[in-house]
Structure formats: structure tokens, C-alpha cells
Amino acid sequence: MIEEEILECPYCGEAFTTLVDWSAGAQRYVEDCPVCCRPIEIALHITADGNPERVSAARDDD
Ligand SMILES: [Zn+2]
């Protein structure tokens, strides 16, 4: 199940669209911001019964 999600870059604050693949379950990966090109850590959160919960975007430079 691939869905389009709108996230906000934690560095420059710009909203951007990304495709997330919920069929792979909870996961964490890094994608470069399309605006400022800095690495954003994207995390997919799954509920206890296995449904998509939310997507978060965090800085990867801490
Ligand atoms: Zn950015």
C-alpha cells in the first residue's frame, strides 16, 4: 500500500510530498529534502494492530 504523504522539512520548514510504502511495516529511512537537500529521517509508525498510524520527519544530524 503506497500512499502520498505531505511532510514538513525539519530544517527549512517547507512542505513536500513523499511516497511511503506501508506494506513494509514500521520503518525508518533517510530522504533528502527536495528544497534544501538536507537529510530527513522519515519514520513510519504502525498501530498495535498493524494499521498505518502516522509518518514523522526528523533531523538526521543530531
Ligand atoms: Zn528542507
How many helices (H) and strands (E) are present in the chain, helices listed first?
0, 5
CA of 50 to the centre of ligand 1 (A): 30
Category of 25 on φ-ψ map: left (φ > 0), alpha (ψ -120 to 50) or beta: left
The predicted model scores a pTM of 0.88
Rounded to the nearest whole angstrom, what is the distance from the C-alpha of residue 49 to the centroid of ligand 1?
33
Distance 12 CA to ligand 1 centre (A): 4
Distance, in Å, from the CA atom of 28 to the CA atom of 57, rounded to the nearest integer, reads 10
How many A from CA of 1 to the centre of ligand 1? 26
Distance 26 CA to ligand 1 centre (A): 23
Task: Tell me the per-residue pLDDT of 2-41, one tens digit each, with 9 for 90 and over.
Answer: 999 999 999 999 999 999 999 989 999 999 999 999 999 9
